[in-house]
């Protein structure tokens, strides 16, 4: 077997494709194959990649060091996370915040029994943002923190727009409120809900002859999704939508504003500006695959989150090199 870390991918959507790219950027890693529920022969000619049926994964137990699970949190991961942790070291991006404790327990049971490491819920939120929330509150124990998302496409809100009568297509961006961010950067610590912190921008392609004002009203008054937010609706052509809104940018901020000593203001801010959300998430998963591999080699087992993993495990450099070059 090669001395490179042998990586497998489960699922070939945007995230899985991002992981393929990320592995190419990391010379210490090698992609063994991609496991899919679809017919592998449909992909066979694609860029020299190897595709296999997901049901054949078990026969790769001795050929793959880490399996990166690129399915969704709604239905794929609750099933795949615990199953694959019985066979492989795994990394996933399970992001249903409320269900993380339960998911952790299921995956942990499998991983402990099998002697594998399973890094769950990594990416940028949960993931990098979580680390920053934890570290900032541990350092500035008296303070307030704020997480802002965007500017980025919200899939759920885009779907909601597309269900409105007369709408042919549409995209919704969640946009953090610059005004609120500047107040916090300036040292204020206002009480804010998610809706205070964000505005919603919609780009809509209407059916020919549809009543645009009626569509606009229906969107801005939609309960849960839009009615409590400042929402703008822009009508554009199908061509404009394709040209200007087909990328998946995202990003956001974690800001903690705290005090030390006699009311001394200290502000920690972490921000991401991403041209592609899935490609960036994939890069985070790939770095954590290196960590999973190394932890497993050290005899560690069980489910782990970003909170449990020392930063040094993410880097291909040795501890000596890290101390010399980056400390």
Binding residues for substrate: 149, 174, 200, 250, 277
Residue in this structure with the two tokens 């929330």, named with its chain if needed: 133
- Residue 264 CB, shortest distance to a second copy, in Å, is 4
Based on the shown chain and the rule CB under 8 A, indicate whether residue 268 belongs to the binding site for a second copy.
yes
Based on the shown chain and the rule CB under 8 A, indicate whether residue 214 belongs to the binding site for a second copy.
no
List, in sequence order, every residue forming a beta bridge with 100; answer none if it has no partner: none
Based on the shown chain and the rule CB under 8 A, indicate whether residue 269 belongs to the binding site for a second copy.
yes
Q: Residue positions in the annotated binding site for NADP(+)?
A: 12-15, 36-38, 70-73, 93-95, 122-126
Residue in this structure with the two tokens 């591999």, named with its chain if needed: 293
Residues 41-80 that bind a second copy (CB under 8 A): none
Distance CA 26, CA 1 (A): 18
Based on the shown chain and the rule CB under 8 A, indicate whether residue 112 belongs to the binding site for a second copy.
no
Tokens of 81: 């996370």
- Residue 205 CB, shortest distance to a second copy, in Å, is 25
Helix 277-297 and helix 14-24: axis angle, to 10°?
60
Figure out which of the listed residues 8, 82, 126, 176 binds a second copy, where binding follows CB under 8 A. Answer: 126
CA distances from 211 to 60, 196, 202, 220 (A): 56, 30, 16, 15
Distance CA 325, CA 79 (A): 42
Helix 100-114 and helix 76-84: axis angle, to 10°?
20
Residues 303-322 that bind a second copy (CB under 8 A): 305-312, 314-316, 319-320, 322
Based on the shown chain and the rule CB under 8 A, indicate whether residue 275 belongs to the binding site for a second copy.
yes
Distance CA 242, CA 260 (A): 50
Residues lying near a second copy in the complex (CB under 8 A): 18, 21-22, 25-26, 97, 100-101, 104, 121, 126, 128, 130-131, 133-135, 137-142, 185, 260-262, 264-276, 279-280, 282-284, 287, 290, 305-312, 314-316, 319-320, 322-324, 326-327
């Amino acid at each position: 077997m090669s001395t490179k870390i042998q990586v497998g991918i489960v699922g070939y959507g945007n995230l899985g494709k991002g992981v393929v790219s990320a592995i190419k950027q990391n010379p210490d890693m090698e992609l063994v194959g991609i496991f899919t529920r679809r017919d592998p022969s449909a992909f066979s000619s694609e860029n020299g990649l190897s595709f296999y049926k997901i049901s054949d994964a078990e026969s790769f137990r001795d050929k793959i060091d880490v399996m990166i699970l690129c399915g969704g949190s709604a239905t794929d991961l609750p099933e795949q996370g615990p199953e694959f942790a019985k066979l492989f070291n795994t990394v996933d991006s399970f992001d249903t915040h409320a269900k993380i404790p339960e998911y952790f327990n299921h995956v942990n049971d499998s991983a402990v029994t099998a002697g594998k490491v399973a890094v769950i819920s990594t990416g940028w939120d949960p993931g990098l943002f979580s680390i920053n929330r934890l570290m900032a509150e541990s350092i500035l124990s008296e303070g307030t923190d704020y997480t802002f998302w965007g500017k980025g496409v919200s899939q759920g809100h885009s779907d909601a727009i597309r269900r409105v009568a007369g709408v042919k297509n549409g995209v919704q961006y969640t946009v953090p409120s610059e005004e609120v961010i500047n107040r916090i950067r300036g040292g204020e610590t206002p009480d804010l809900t998610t809706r205070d912190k964000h505005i919603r921008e919609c780009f809509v392609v209407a059916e020919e002859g549809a009543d645009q004002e009626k569509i606009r009203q229906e969107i801005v008054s939609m309960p849960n999704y839009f009615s409590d937010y400042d929402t703008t609706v822009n009508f554009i052509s199908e061509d404009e939508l394709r040209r200007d809104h087909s990328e998946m940018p995202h990003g956001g901020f974690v800001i903690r504003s705290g005090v030390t000593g006699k009311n001394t203001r200290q502000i920690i801010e972490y921000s991401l500006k991403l041209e592609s959300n899935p490609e960036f998430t994939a890069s985070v998963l790939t770095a954590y695959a290196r960590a999973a591999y190394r932890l497993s080699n050290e005899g560690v087992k069980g489910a782990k989150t970003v909170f449990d993993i020392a930063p040094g495990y993410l880097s291909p450099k040795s501890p000596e090199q890290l101390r010399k070059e980056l400390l």
